Structure 1
Amino acid sequence: MSFTSLGLSDFLLRTLEEQGYKRPTPIQQQAIPLVLEGRDLLAAAQTGSGKTAAFSLPILQKLNEQPIAGYRAVRALILVPTRELAAQVATAVQTYARHLPLSLKITAVYGGVKINPQMMALRGGSDIVIATPGRLLDLLDQNAVKLSSVETLVLDEADRMLDLGFADELNGVLRRLPKKRQNLLFSATFPDEVKALTKQLLDNPGQIAVESEYKVADRVQQRAIEVDRHNRTALLSDLVKQQGWQRVLVFVASKRGANNVAMKLAKRGINAQALHGDMNQSARNRALADFKAKKVQVLVVTDLIARGIDIAQLPCVVNYDLPRSPADYVHRIGRTARAGEQGQALSFIGHEDDNHFKLIEKRTEQEIAREQIPGFERSETPPAELDAPKGPVKGKRKSKKDKAREAAAKQQQLEANQQIWKKTQP
């Protein structure tokens, strides 16, 4: 199937050809015609599947074909969970719109930076707004933007948005939207909160399920390297130098860990930079831009950019710490081997990681051969603390009553969210 067969205009096809797009991905094949028809859409897609183009191309075509004279009312609203994804989606949409006869104004707004420049950018309106929910509410409260003319709402990475605690902000945005609109919801996973949102938000949606949330791209070469925890930094440094990787994305479990690993690599003569949520937005933008421009060799990150961020020609991803879930594992290693390229994904496995990595293998339906690197072999016996009795520790394990209270509170919050979402619908 070609992009031409999807009903896209010559103006968009010209841009796609310039960008080197050869043929549509499965989600683009299925989503673009449905969005052009005006249908609501529920899409489950693996990271790197091309969903940004899947929703932005038909939105651009519809806006171009139905221009509105005068004030630029917001006609398309794209909500995303992170600042980095907002900036990336805005760049992609601006690129796709390059050759349209109608000049469209596309604005990205997100927290972590001063609000006044964004208020200035919204003066005179905007055709498309890409936003994080919290900052959009701030702008709405200051009357810097109006949503009464929104024709299409996109929720990108809906599960991640709710996981980051944006439920209340999302509800606040939904209440400001017109009742009649097209809704497009994209999510890699579907926990109860997303299912509830789906039922209340979507009207007879077209449904797309491209691949399992645990499906790993075929072009990723996965390696599981057994190593003691105290040797991980030395091993990482040795691999970077021996393999000659120009860029490596290293995932760690915490913000503090990101800073420590980056500092230790720098002491070993490797140009490394940390990137995490405690950094201000300008520092985060600079770190990511320098990494993309190959000014930084190793970027040490938390799961802040495990999803959504596109880094072209990234040869290697390293799980310095294993992710919390198999789905996060898939999203992390999905940063490499994108757009038809090859890539490697390395996971460091200490004795304490064995069982968790087996769970990842089970959920992703694969078995990855363990290996050891000469000079960094893992000790034959696990640390003594791993063999210690695992009896209850006061203050560490939750009682049955605590668990019951948490479950009841979660259910109560879920029901409250359902009621709020219900009120936002016709």
Structure 2
Amino acid sequence: MQFKDLQLNKPILKAIEAKNYTSATPIQALTIPLVLAKKDVIASAQTGTGKTAAFALPILQLLFDKQDAGKKGKKVKALVISPTRELAIQIEDNFETYSKFTNLRTAVVYGGTSIEPQKDVLKKGVDILVATPGRLLDLHKQDCLNLDFIEILVLDEADLMLDMGFIDDVRKIERLCPKEKQILLFSATMPAKVVQLANTILKDPETVDATPTSSAAKNVNQLLFYVHKQHKMELCLHLLRNTIKGNILIFRRTKMGIAKLEKMLKGNGYKVDSIHGDKTQNDREKALNNFKDGAINILIATDVAARGIDIDNLDAVINFDIPNVSETYVHRIGRTGRAGNTGNAYSFCSADEKTYIKDIQQLINTAIPVIDEHPYVLDPKAKREVHRTPGKSKHKSGRKSAASKKNKKRWY
């Protein structure tokens, strides 16, 4: 479907045209008419399907006729709640792009950075506010934000929001808004707790499911490597030297794991940076911008930090640690192979992660091809890896074993 068939007005169509977009994605074609009809919507959509525009475009259309001339008189009429700072910034960027030829004003507020400049922006008056839950409630508590005029409330990445423990904040924000409002809920997956939240706050919602999970990885070439846990570093380096080229996003489960991998790759001359929850907002933005600008070509991230990040031309995703939630795998590999491009996803599976792979293959209804031509192959039949319990050495403390004397330095 073409955007011009979706009853959007000229200023918005002009902004879409300036981005060289003509056809709406399935989530946009299904959602935009429902939002324009002022229905509550619960939509299941992965990132990379154009879901931000699916709510941004109709919101701008609905607010267009009510735009206040003077900035001072503006009241927040649309509120978008996002779980992470990166995603909030990206959503606001979308609103800025599509409101280019209107008088509508957008702002974004999030934690991890000074609150004062954000208070100043709100004082000047905005129509659309994008926010993370904690910072929004802080601003409201300090009487810097009036939610009495909200007409549309959007909850984006609802599943992640609940995983991060924001359920009470979300309910509180919903109660602070007027009773009569339109609510749009977007979620990559629909676990029971998201459905329960939707049932309690949405009124007769229309359901949109634009991306069946199994089709999410159509343009991605998936490869599986069975490897001993202690050899994952070597395998990663081996593939980077011989196989994987271009812009690469590596997923690790923990911040400590990220630090180890980043140190090893930097020590081997790779241009690499990382994003995770302990980094300041400035450092996270800097790392992301360096990756987008090509100053580095490898970015290591945790799932929470990377959720919602939109990176064009991503050549490969490496699942250094296999996620224990199958949908997360689909979400990760969906970062590459976007907008008609093809991408590659490499997964490193140790013995204790095999059950996760089994669940993932069941979900995507596909057997991931196994690559066994590499120097660190783990027997696929191995149930677990044997590790010596610390402190159980047969040698006296302080005495080195013969093996450790022989082989002390790791080659990387």
TM-score, with length taken from structure 1: 0.86
**5+ long unaligned stretches in structure 1:** 389-426
Aligned amino acid, residue 139 of structure 2: L
Query: Secondary structure at 1:55's aligned position in 2?
Result: helix
Aligned amino acid, residue 54 of structure 2: A
Percent same amino acid at aligned positions?
A: 40
| The one of 58, 75, 78 aligned to 1:76 | 78
CA deviation after TM superposition for structure 1 residue 342, in Å: 1.0
Mapping 1:241-260, distance limit 5 Å: 241-243=241-243, 245-260=245-260
Looking at structure 1, the residues matched to 342 and 97 of structure 2 have their Cα atoms a distance apart, in angstroms, of 25
Aligned amino acid, residue 86 of structure 1: A
Mapping 1:6-405, distance limit 5 Å: 6-69=6-69, 71-100=73-102, 103-243=103-243, 245-378=245-378, 382=382, 385=385
Looking at structure 2, the residues matched to 93 and 109 of structure 1 have their Cα atoms a distance apart, in angstroms, of 14
CA deviation after TM superposition for structure 1 residue 168, in Å: 1.6
How many pairs are equivalent? 386
Residue 37 and residue 350 in structure 1: after superposition, are their counterparts in 2 closer, same or farther (change >3 A)? same
Deviates more, 1:222-231 or 1:323-332: 222-231
Do the aligned partners of 1:233 and 1:265 also contact (CA within 8 Å) in 2?
no
Looking at structure 1, the residues matched to 113 and 306 of structure 2 have their Cα atoms a distance apart, in angstroms, of 22
CA deviation after TM superposition for structure 1 residue 213, in Å: 3.8
**5+ long unaligned stretches in structure 2:** 389-412
Aligned amino acid, residue 248 of structure 2: V
Do the aligned partners of 2:82 and 2:156 also contact (CA within 8 Å) in 1?
yes
Paired position in structure 1 for 2:407? none
Looking at structure 2, the residues matched to 200 and 383 of structure 1 have their Cα atoms a distance apart, in angstroms, of 44
Looking at structure 2, the residues matched to 151 and 108 of structure 1 have their Cα atoms a distance apart, in angstroms, of 18
CA deviation after TM superposition for structure 1 residue 244, in Å: 5.9
CA deviation after TM superposition for structure 1 residue 380, in Å: 7.5
Aligned amino acid, residue 368 of structure 2: I
Looking at structure 2, the residues matched to 58 and 302 of structure 1 have their Cα atoms a distance apart, in angstroms, of 32
Residue 242 and residue 206 in structure 1: after superposition, are their counterparts in 2 closer, same or farther (change >3 A)? same
Aligned amino acid, residue 218 of structure 1: K
CA distances 1:185-206 after superposition (whole Å, capped 9, x unpaired)? 1112222322222112111222
Looking at structure 1, the residues matched to 371 and 108 of structure 2 have their Cα atoms a distance apart, in angstroms, of 45
TM-score, with length taken from structure 2: 0.89
CA deviation after TM superposition for structure 1 residue 322, in Å: 0.4
CA deviation after TM superposition for structure 1 residue 53, in Å: 0.3
CA deviation after TM superposition for structure 1 residue 362, in Å: 1.1
CA deviation after TM superposition for structure 1 residue 383, in Å: 8.3
Do the aligned partners of 1:78 and 1:131 also contact (CA within 8 Å) in 2?
yes
CA deviation after TM superposition for structure 1 residue 170, in Å: 1.3
CA deviation after TM superposition for structure 1 residue 121, in Å: 1.4
Do the aligned partners of 2:83 and 2:157 also contact (CA within 8 Å) in 1?
yes
Looking at structure 2, the residues matched to 299 and 92 of structure 1 have their Cα atoms a distance apart, in angstroms, of 23
Cα RMSD between the aligned structures? 1.9
Looking at structure 1, the residues matched to 165 and 223 of structure 2 have their Cα atoms a distance apart, in angstroms, of 33
Do the aligned partners of 1:133 and 1:166 also contact (CA within 8 Å) in 2?
yes
Aligned amino acid, residue 8 of structure 1: L
CA deviation after TM superposition for structure 1 residue 350, in Å: 2.0
CA deviation after TM superposition for structure 1 residue 89, in Å: 0.5
CA deviation after TM superposition for structure 1 residue 11, in Å: 1.8
CA deviation after TM superposition for structure 1 residue 69, in Å: 4.9
Looking at structure 1, the residues matched to 322 and 278 of structure 2 have their Cα atoms a distance apart, in angstroms, of 21
Query: Secondary structure at 1:224's aligned position in 2?
Result: strand
CA distances 1:125-151 after superposition (whole Å, capped 9, x unpaired)? 211000011110000001111110011
CA deviation after TM superposition for structure 1 residue 379, in Å: 5.4
Looking at structure 1, the residues matched to 64 and 106 of structure 2 have their Cα atoms a distance apart, in angstroms, of 13
CA distances 1:332-356 after superposition (whole Å, capped 9, x unpaired)? 1111111221111110122222232
CA deviation after TM superposition for structure 1 residue 20, in Å: 2.5
Query: Secondary structure at 1:370's aligned position in 2?
Result: coil
CA deviation after TM superposition for structure 1 residue 68, in Å: 3.4
CA distances 1:224-245 after superposition (whole Å, capped 9, x unpaired)? 1222222222222232233462
CA deviation after TM superposition for structure 1 residue 67, in Å: 2.2
Query: Secondary structure at 2:347's aligned position in 1?
Result: strand
Do the aligned partners of 1:75 and 1:150 also contact (CA within 8 Å) in 2?
yes
CA distances 1:99-121 after superposition (whole Å, capped 9, x unpaired)? 22xx2221111111111111111
Looking at structure 2, the residues matched to 2 and 293 of structure 1 have their Cα atoms a distance apart, in angstroms, of 31
Aligned amino acid, residue 189 of structure 1: T
Aligned amino acid, residue 27 of structure 1: I
Looking at structure 2, the residues matched to 181 and 212 of structure 1 have their Cα atoms a distance apart, in angstroms, of 29
Looking at structure 2, the residues matched to 94 and 384 of structure 1 have their Cα atoms a distance apart, in angstroms, of 51
